[in-house]
Structure formats: structure tokens, C-alpha cells
Amino acid sequence: MDAIDAQASVLVLVDYQARLMPAIHDAAAVAARAVLLAQAAHTLGIPVIGTEQNPAGLGPNVEPVRAQCRLTLAKTRFDACADGLVQALHEAKPGCGQVVVAGCEAHVCLLQTALGLLRAGKRVWVVANASGSRRPADHAAAMARLAQAGATVVTHEMVLFEWVADCRHPRFRELLEIVKSAG
């Protein structure tokens, strides 16, 4: 398996919408990990793109997530790739081959978006503990299906430490402070 390369990565945060989050199992921790991922991405110069499913009906992403996104793509399809995500990735980082993705609901929009990214030829890492569903069983099924489809299922700390790869990385201390601040 390939390591996650910060120079080739974009972070995509899928549908952390304010009207949806109260129904998500362990929502506060899921959203906090998404923000932490985005803060680390900014520290390392990695673009962060958000998506919002039918924002006219579900409202915007929760503000702590929305504030971290360079661009937030409004969509109506569950697979954000069908509503312009692949083009947005190219514009954010031309030649982007690696996508770290997390979001809600894991078994619907996150799943279909990650599958779309795989179909588009991207290498995909799905951050399980920064993703959520209303029911834990749906989350587990989504992670299993994504792994079977070719995505790599990871945790937020796996991503962060692969992005820097070495304790001598010039931004390692900053990243470590972000991790420690989360507790």
C-alpha cells in the first residue's frame, strides 16, 4: 500500500450539515476530528474542500467545519463527483492523485463520493473516526464496503502522521500541538 503523500493530497469533508449532525452517532467527536484534520491540512499546505448535500433543505455545514474549507461545493447527488468534485480537486491541486475523505452520512454521501473518487482514478483514504452515520451498524458496513472497493480505511492520527512522515519534518511540532490540543 502507498503512504499518504501530503504533496499529492487534498482533504474532502462531506456533508457535516447542521440539520443532520444532531442525528449522527457521536456527532461532536466526528465533527471535532474533521476540524482537526482540516487544521493539520492547512498547516501543511493541503487544500480542504467541503461539500453540502441540498443546502437549501439541510442548511450549511456546521460553522467550525465550513470555516476550514477553501471551497464548499453544493450538491444534490449523493456522489459529489457527479456534481463537480473531481473538477474542484483539479482546480485546488492540479494533478491531485490522492484524496483523504471524511463525512456524513458514512453509508450514503461519504460512501458514494468515495466510490466516485475511486472510479475517477483517485487513491482514496477514508477517515473512519471522522465520519459518521445515525447508526453504528451503517457506519461499519460503509467502512467494510469501502475497504472492499479499494479505499484505505484510516483514523485521523494515521493521516496526520503519514502527512509529516518524520519527526524532523519542519511542521512536525505544529502538527503535534494540533493533536495534543484535541486531547
DSSP assignment letter at 4 = P
Domain membership flag for residue 1: no
Classify strands 123-127 and 152-154 as parallel, antiparallel or unpaired: parallel
Q: Residue 183: what pLDDT?
A: 63
Q: In the prediction, which pLDDT does 128 show?
A: 98
- Domain of residue 135 covers 6-181
> What's this model's pTM, rounded to 2 decimal places?
0.96
In a domain, 111, yes or no: yes
Tell me: pLDDT of 182 over 90.
no
SS3 152: strand
> At residue 26, does pLDDT exceed 90?
yes
49: pLDDT confidence band, cut at 50, 70 and 90?
very high
Q: Is the pLDDT of residue 1 over 70?
A: no
Please give the share of the chain, as a percent, with pLDDT higher than 90.
Answer: 92
The candidate with the shortest Cα–Cα distance to 172, out of 159, 155, 182, 160, is: 160
Q: What confidence tens digit (pLDDT) does each residue in 74-132 have?
A: 999 999 999 999 999 999 999 889 999 999 999 999 999 999 999 999 999 999 999 99
d(CA 100, CA 110): 11
User: What CATH code is carried by the domain that includes residue 124?
Assistant: 3.40.50.850
> Does residue 59 contact residue 72 with C-beta atoms inside 8 Å?
no
The total domain count for the chain is 1
pLDDT score of 78: 98
